[in-house]
């Protein structure tokens, strides 16, 4: 009896696995859920949801989630890239402005020193 049951199961499994008659992964996921949790209702709900997603989008749930996450990551990367470019531009402008201000301050300081030196020299010239 056990041998006969084993043969029937082997023939059925080989038919499903070798002919591609049934999308096997659609049965494996809910089957694993049913075996691990013991909840047949949960497994059937998972199977029905997966079939509905595949019917609506033409993609299985794993592919759909993966593409959604990749799109979100791409959008986030583009936003971060824009923010990074803006930050670099602002930093460059700040450095240029600081350099100009430093040059102006240096020129003012030099002019003041020159004036002070001239006034000292003029004072010394007049007293001699």
Q: Report if residue 107 sits inside a domain.
A: no
Q: Report if residue 4 sits inside a domain.
A: yes
Q: CB of 47 within 8 A of CB of 38?
A: no
**pTM score over 0.85:** no
Q: Report if residue 111 sits inside a domain.
A: no
Q: Report if residue 98 sits inside a domain.
A: no
Q: Report if residue 128 sits inside a domain.
A: no
The residue segments making up the domain with residue 33 are: 1-58
Q: Report if residue 23 sits inside a domain.
A: yes
Convert the pLDDT of each residue in 93-105 to its tens digit.
Answer: 999 999 988 888 8
Convert the pLDDT of each residue in 28-49 to its tens digit.
Answer: 666 676 677 667 777 777 778 8
Phi–psi pair at 112, nearest 5 degrees? -65, -45
Domain count, the chain: 1
DSSP letter assigned to residue 22: S
């Amino acid at each position: 009896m056990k041998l006969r049951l084993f043969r029937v199961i082997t023939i059925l499994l080989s038919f499903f696995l070798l002919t591609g008659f049934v999308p096997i992964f659609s049965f494996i996921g809910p089957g694993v859920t049913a075996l691990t949790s013991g909840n047949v209702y949960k497994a059937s709900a998972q199977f029905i949801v997966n079939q509905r997603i595949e019917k609506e989008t033409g993609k299985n749930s794993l592919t759909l989630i993966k593409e959604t996450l990749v799109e979100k990551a791409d959008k986030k990367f583009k936003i971060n890239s824009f923010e990074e470019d803006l930050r670099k531009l602002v930093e460059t402008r700040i450095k240029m402005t600081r350099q100009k201000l430093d040059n102006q301050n240096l020129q003012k300081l030099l002019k003041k020193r020159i004036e002070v030196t001239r006034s000292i020299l003029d004072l010394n010239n007049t007293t001699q």
